[in-house]
A and B are shown apart, each in its own frame.
Chain A
Amino acid sequence: MSGRHPPIPPPTADPSTTTPLRTRFDRRTLLRASAAGAVATAAGGLATACGSAAGQGPGKVAIHGDNATWEAPLQAAGKALQSTAGLQLVPEVIPSLESFEQIVKSSLRTNKTPDLLKYWSGYRLRDLARTGGIEDLSEQWESAESRGWVDPSLREAFTYGGRVYGLPMNLAYWVIFYNPEVFAEHRLKKPETWDDFLTACTRLKDNGITPLHGTTAGRWPAFIWFQEILSRQDPQFYDDLMNGRERYTDPRAERALRTIAGFFDKNWFTSMDVDHNAAAAAVVHGDIGMVACGTWLGGVFAGAGAKPGKTVDAFVLPMADPAARPCVIFESSAFAVTVKGPDKEEALKAAGGWLHPEVATAFAHGLSDGSPNPKVTPANAVIEGVTRQSKDLWLLNRFWEQGPPELVESTVDDLAGMLIEPHSYRGGLRTMQERADEAWKVWREAEKS
C-alpha cells in the first residue's frame, strides 16, 4: 500500500463561530474525513490485493506458481536467465493450489494478472488457452526445438488448436521408488518385467514389509495406481480414455481396477491415509517396499536421509502386456505468458530464454528432477537411470492433466472411493462414465464456440 491519503481540509478556525455551529462543522469535517479515509483504505486495500501482480520494473519479471519448493530452483534459473537474456526472474508463490488457480482464473481477464505463470500442461493449459488469456508461444517453441533445446514429443501436451501456449519447465517421470538395500536383503533385483514386479511384491509381503504405498490423502493421489496399471496393461486405451475416445465402462478399465482390487486382496497396499512424505521415510526405513510417484519425490527422499542409488532408486513400472508399446507417464509444468500482464514484452523475452541449456540446467538441478531439454545433464543418479530407461518409451501425460479439469477433479474422488472399497469398481466406473459424458459434451461445445 502506498500510504497516501486524500488531504483532509483543515477546519476554518473562525473565532466568531458559535459553539453549535462549530460542533456541526466539526461533525461534517469528521464525516468527510471518515469518508475520505474509507475511500483511501478501500483503494489501498485494492492496491495491496493487486500489488503482487504489479510490474516488476525494468530487467525483472515475476513468475507466479503454487509450489513453495520451486522458489529456490526458480531463483537459480533466474540467475542463469540474467546472464543469458539479461532478465531477472522474481518467483512469487501462492502456496495453495486452490488459491493459485482462483487467482489465475479470476485475474486473467484483468490487467492485474501476473506476467508469467507456472501452470499445468495438457487439458488444464488448454482450458486456460481457450480463454484467450495466455500468449501463443509457438515461435519460442520452434526456436528452442530447432536448437535441440526441447524434446519434440512433449509438444502435444502444450498445444491447443495447433498453437503452443506453454513451454515445459520440468520433466518428471512417474516411477516406482524402492530401497535397493532392502531389495538386496530379500534377494530381489530392480524389476524389469511385470512378473519381476509381482515377485517383488509377494516376497516383500512374505517378509513383513508392506509392498506398495497407495493413498487417498490429499485427494489427488487416488489416481496413481489406476494410471500406472491401466497404462501398463494397455497404453493405447489409456491415451484414448484420457482423451475422451474410449469409455470408463470398457472391460479394459474394469480389468485395471480388478488388478488393483487383487492387490488389495493380497494386502499389498498400505492403509490409504499414509501420505507421500511418510511413505518416503518408510521406504528408507524398510517398512514400505515401493512408492509410485513422480521423480520430483526424490527431494522428499533426500529430506528423509536417503542416498540416491544406495537407499533409494527408481524404476519405470514394467509393461504388464509385453506386446504393448512400452510407455512411461510424464508430468511437466507449463511456463506460460499472460496476455494482459504488465511486463509482457519482458515476459516473452524470458520465455525465449527459458529452455536455454544454462537456464534449464540451473532449474533442473535446483529441483533435482528431469529436464525437458535433452542437453541438460541429469541432476543425480536416480534421474540419470530413469532418463536412460525412459529414452525410447512412449511419453503419456499424467491423469491429472488429461481430460477436462472438472472431470478429473470429480473422477479422482470416484477413484478414491474405489480404493476404499476396491470391489465396488463396476458402480464406480459407471459413475465416472456418466461424469465423462457430461464433461466431454461441455468441453466439445466450448471448443466449437
Chain B
Amino acid sequence: MTDTLGTTDAAGPVRVRRRIPVRSPHQAAKTTSTSRLGGPFAGVPWALPALALVGVLLVYPFLRSIYGSFFEDNGFSSSFTGIDNYTRLAEDPIFGRSLLNTFMWVAGTLLLPVVAGLAIAVATHRMRRFGGLAQLVIVLPFAISGAATASLWRFMLTTDGAVNQVLRGVGLDSWAQGWLLEWPQNTISMIVASTWQATGLNVVLFAIGLRAIPRETIEAAELDGATGWRMFRHITLPQLRAVTVVVVGMAIVNSLKAFDMIWVLTQGGPSRSSETLALTMYREAFRLFHVGYGSAVALVLSVIVVASSWLYLRRQMPGAKD
C-alpha cells in the first residue's frame, strides 16, 4: 500500500493540498434542495393530498355546478337550456326577495355584531373586577350551535312567545306582533337573533386587539390630553385596524352563508318571504328538484361571496393592491 501523505523520494516531500470543504449558506441551501429533496417539484407530492381534497370537494363540484346551471335538470333527466336559468332568475320575484334579504343580512351583520362587539370589548377592557366575567357571559352564546340558538329564539319570537309576553306585560300590547310571520320583520328578527350569537366572537377578537395596543401609545396620548371619544377615535380605533379587517371580513362571509338560523326559525317562510340566497339554492335544488336553477342560484351566491371578499380584502389588506 502506498502512503501518499508521508512518502518521500528523491525529489523531496510531496505537498498535498489539503481541501477543506467550505460551503456558503447559499450553496448549502441549493445542494440540499436539489440533491437531498429531489428538485424544485419535490414539495408537490406533499401538497397532493390537500390539492386532491380541494379539487374533489371544492373545485370539481364548483365547475360541475356551473356546467349544470345551463341545464334543465329534475334529478332524473336533463336538457340543455343555455342561459335560460339565468334569465329566469332575473324575472323571479322570489329570487329578487331572496337577494334583498341576503343584502339585509350583510348590512345587519356588519352593523350589529361588529359594532356591538367593538363597543362591548372597549367597555369591558378597562373594567378591573367584572370585565372578564362580562366578556365571558357575552361570549357564551357563541359556544351554542346555530340550530340550538334558533330553537331558543323560536320560544322568544313566536306570537305567544317571550318577547310578546314581556311587551304585553309592560303594557306595550300594540308592539306585540308576529315577529316571524311578516316581511321584513321576520328577517330583521333573525338578524337580531344571529347578533346575539355572533357578537361573542367579535368581542374576543377586539379584546385581543385592544390588549395588543402598546401601553406607551395610550400613555402618550393621555399626556397629550386625549380622553374619551377622542382617544377612541384617533388612537384605539386605528390601532384595531388589523383586527377590524378580520372581523368585518368574517361578518361578510358569515352573513352571506346564513342558513341554519333561518332554516330552523322559518324555513325561509312564510311564503318564502325570509329566504336568503343560500336557502333559495337549497329549496330549488333539493326540495323542488330544479337542480339546474338551483345551480344558477349557487353560482350567483358564489360570485357575490368571492367578489365581496376579494374587493374588501384587496382594499383593506396592506400590499395586496396589485
Give the residues in chain B near A274, CB-CB below 8 Å.
158-160
* Residue B228 lies at the interface, judged by CB distance under 8 Å to chain A: no
- Whether A420 pairs with B38 at a CB distance below 8 angstroms is no
Known A-B contacts A102-B286, A416-B270; A271 and B159 likewise in contact (beta carbons under 8 Å): yes
Closest to B178 in A: A271
- Whether B181 pairs with A420 at a CB distance below 8 angstroms is yes
Partner-contacting stretch, out of B7-15, B134-142, B287-295, B310-318: B287-295
- Interface size (B, Cβ < 8 Å)? 26
Known A-B contacts A34-B49, A273-B181; A216 and B287 likewise in contact (beta carbons under 8 Å): no
Give the residues in chain A near B61, CB-CB below 8 Å.
none
Expressed in whole angstroms, the Cα–Cα distance for A219 and B267 within the complex equals 7
Which of B45, B182, B290 lies in contact with A406, CB distance below 8 A? B290
* Residue B180 lies at the interface, judged by CB distance under 8 Å to chain A: yes
- Whether B158 pairs with A413 at a CB distance below 8 angstroms is no
Q: Report the minimal beta-carbon distance from A287 to chain B, rounded to whole angstroms.
A: 10
Expressed in whole angstroms, the Cα–Cα distance for A23 and B181 within the complex equals 66
- Whether A413 pairs with B271 at a CB distance below 8 angstroms is yes
Closest to A216 in B: B270
Inter-chain residue pair count (beta carbon < 8 A): 65
Main secondary structure of the interface of B (DSSP, over half): loop
Expressed in whole angstroms, the Cα–Cα distance for A216 and B247 within the complex equals 36
Known A-B contacts A24-B38, A273-B180; A410 and B288 likewise in contact (beta carbons under 8 Å): yes
Q: Report the minimal beta-carbon distance from A95 to chain B, rounded to whole angstroms.
A: 14
Which of B38, B159, B267, B287 lies in contact with A218, CB distance below 8 A? B267
Main secondary structure of the interface of A (DSSP, over half): helix
Give the residues in chain B near A317, CB-CB below 8 Å.
none
- Whether A105 pairs with B289 at a CB distance below 8 angstroms is yes
- Whether B270 pairs with A98 at a CB distance below 8 angstroms is no
Which of A38, A105, A413 lies in contact with B272, CB distance below 8 A? A413
Expressed in whole angstroms, the Cα–Cα distance for A158 and B18 within the complex equals 98
Give the residues in chain B near A410, CB-CB below 8 Å.
288
* Residue B249 lies at the interface, judged by CB distance under 8 Å to chain A: no
Q: Report the minimal beta-carbon distance from B253 to chain A, rounded to whole angstroms.
A: 25
* Residue B36 lies at the interface, judged by CB distance under 8 Å to chain A: yes
Give the residues in chain A near B35, CB-CB below 8 Å.
20
* Residue A87 lies at the interface, judged by CB distance under 8 Å to chain B: no
Give the residues in chain B near A273, CB-CB below 8 Å.
158-159, 178, 180-181
Expressed in whole angstroms, the Cα–Cα distance for A274 and B155 within the complex equals 11
CB-defined interface of A244-273 with B at 8 Å, one 1/0 digit per residue?
000000000000000000000000000111
* Chain B, 249-279, CB within 8 A of any chain A CB: 267, 269-273
* Residue A429 lies at the interface, judged by CB distance under 8 Å to chain B: no
- Whether A406 pairs with B76 at a CB distance below 8 angstroms is no
Expressed in whole angstroms, the Cα–Cα distance for A406 and B75 within the complex equals 12
* Chain A, 49-108, CB within 8 A of any chain B CB: 98, 102, 105-106
Give the residues in chain B near A416, CB-CB below 8 Å.
269-271
Expressed in whole angstroms, the Cα–Cα distance for A105 and B270 within the complex equals 27
Closest to B72 in A: A442
CB-defined interface of A136-168 with B at 8 Å, one 1/0 digit per residue?
000000000000000000000000000000000
Known A-B contacts A414-B271, A416-B270; A98 and B287 likewise in contact (beta carbons under 8 Å): yes
CB-defined interface of A405-440 with B at 8 Å, one 1/0 digit per residue?
010011001101101100000000000000000000
* Chain A, 253-309, CB within 8 A of any chain B CB: 271-274, 278
Closest to A431 in B: B93
CB-defined interface of A98-137 with B at 8 Å, one 1/0 digit per residue?
1000100110000000000000000000000001000000
Size category of the A interface is 20 to 34
Expressed in whole angstroms, the Cα–Cα distance for A222 and B286 within the complex equals 20
CB-defined interface of A194-215 with B at 8 Å, one 1/0 digit per residue?
0000000000000000000000
- Whether A420 pairs with B36 at a CB distance below 8 angstroms is no
- Whether B270 pairs with A272 at a CB distance below 8 angstroms is yes
Give the residues in chain A near B272, CB-CB below 8 Å.
413
Which of B38, B181, B271 counts the most A-chain CB atoms under 10 A from its CB? B271
Expressed in whole angstroms, the Cα–Cα distance for A419 and B181 within the complex equals 10
Known A-B contacts A105-B75, A271-B178; A409 and B267 likewise in contact (beta carbons under 8 Å): no
Which of A23, A31, A409, A420 lies in contact with B270, CB distance below 8 A? A420
Expressed in whole angstroms, the Cα–Cα distance for A420 and B180 within the complex equals 11
Expressed in whole angstroms, the Cα–Cα distance for A319 and B287 within the complex equals 34
Which of A131, A271, A409 lies in contact with B287, CB distance below 8 A? A409
- Whether A272 pairs with B181 at a CB distance below 8 angstroms is yes
Give the residues in chain A near B158, CB-CB below 8 Å.
271, 273-274
Q: Report the minimal beta-carbon distance from A232 to chain B, rounded to whole angstroms.
A: 24
Give the residues in chain A near B49, CB-CB below 8 Å.
34, 38
Expressed in whole angstroms, the Cα–Cα distance for A410 and B35 within the complex equals 66
* Chain B, 223-261, CB within 8 A of any chain A CB: none
- Whether B290 pairs with A271 at a CB distance below 8 angstroms is no
Give the residues in chain A near B38, CB-CB below 8 Å.
24
Which of A38, A409, A419 lies in contact with B288, CB distance below 8 A? A409
Expressed in whole angstroms, the Cα–Cα distance for A410 and B76 within the complex equals 20
* 3 A-B pairs with least C-beta separation: A417-B271, A271-B159, A416-B270
27 A–B pairs (Cβ distance < 8 Å), ordered by A: A23-B36, A24-B38, A38-B52, A98-B286, A98-B287, A106-B75, A131-B76, A216-B181, A216-B270, A218-B267, A219-B267, A219-B269, A222-B270, A271-B160, A271-B178, A272-B178, A273-B178, A273-B181, A274-B159, A274-B160, A413-B269, A413-B270, A413-B272, A416-B270, A417-B271, A417-B273, A420-B271
14 additional A-B pairs beyond A105-B289, A272-B159, A413-B270, beta carbons within 8 Å, are A20-B35, A216-B269, A216-B270, A271-B160, A271-B178, A272-B178, A273-B158, A273-B178, A409-B287, A413-B269, A416-B269, A416-B270, A417-B270, A420-B181
